[in-house]
Amino acid sequence: MKKPGSGTPKTSGARVLKTRIKKKRGLKNSSRRWLERHLNDPYVLRSKAEGYRSRAAFKLIEIDDKHKLLQPGQRVIDLGAAPGGWLQVAAARVKSPEDAPTVVGIDYLGLDPVPGTTILEMDFLDDDAPARLMETLGGAPDIVMSDMAAPTTGHRRTDHIRTMHLCEVAADFAVQVLKEGGHFLAKTFQGGTESTLLDLLKRNFRTVQHVKPPASREESVELYILAKHFKGRGEGSEAEPEGESAES
């Protein structure tokens, strides 16, 4: 794999040929447009060229390039790890050994092995999942990250509530297991980080903010909430009120 890059994918001055999807019976125009956009997405093309399993890898790359979360020697937990793009980035940046991985991912969807990681094929919401993660990692994580999103129903409010629940569960887990000084990164949605979640994070981390990396499509309501510098269990004072607005 090539060295992870940063920023928006660049194209040369040469003309780029776009893939067109022919109109077919049974294929809605909206579906055809989505396919065309996906196939011509520069992040999709770049992920294939650089060996990443999904364009989502570049979201983590861009966030990490700016906020410097992943460092060599760290322990990392990736919640909702499929298809493995975030695992690839994390393993490379913390230099996780293949014979003794310091990166552990979990997902109820099966995925192929990722060098330098251990993958648990189970639902993070299962009662025994947190204990299994900690046992497998072998120590307190420096970073808990989550790109989890609930399967969509087509009803925006319902989808929002279900994904926010996953974010809240991930945050609660992070507060229980993180090493002091550690970080939490998770997917959320615009207009919707619930006050109870923000209160939890502000009490337990030095800074809390929303970030939207360039790889996250402009029209998407997707945001990431980033809580840095875990205070440690028992301190419980309010976080410094900085960086709470969305930023790129």
Residue 64 annotated in ligand binding = no
Give tens-digit pLDDT for 38-56: 455 576 667 676 778 888 9
- Single pTM value for the model: 0.79
CB of 146 closer than 8 Å to CB of 182: no
**Distances from the Cα of 159 to the Cαs of 154, 185, 188, 221, in angstroms?**
7, 20, 11, 12
Tally of CA atoms within 13 A in the half-sphere of 216 that contains its CB: 21
The question of whether 187 is a catalytic residue gets the answer: yes
pLDDT digits (tens, 9 = 90+) for 131-183: 999 999 999 999 999 999 877 677 777 777 888 899 999 999 999 999 999 99
Every domain of the chain and the residues it spans: 22-51, 57-247
CA–CA dist 234, 41 (Å, integer):
46
Q: Of the residues 10, 23, 187, 231, which is catalytic?
A: 187
Torsion of CA 186, 42, 67, 71, to 10 degrees: 90
Q: How many angstroms from the chain centroid is the CA of residue 193?
A: 16
- Amino acid 224: pLDDT: 94
d(CA 70, CA 77): 12
73 is in an annotated binding site: no
> In this predicted model, which residue has the larger pLDDT, 12 or 29?
29
Classify domain 57-247 at the CATH topology level. Rossmann fold (3.40.50)
Residue 1's pLDDT band, with cuts at 50, 70 and 90, is very low
34 is in an annotated binding site: no
Could you read off the pLDDT of 20-31 as tens digits, one per residue? 444 555 555 544
147 annotated ligand-binding residue: yes
Asked whether residue 123 is marked as a ligand-binding residue, the answer is yes
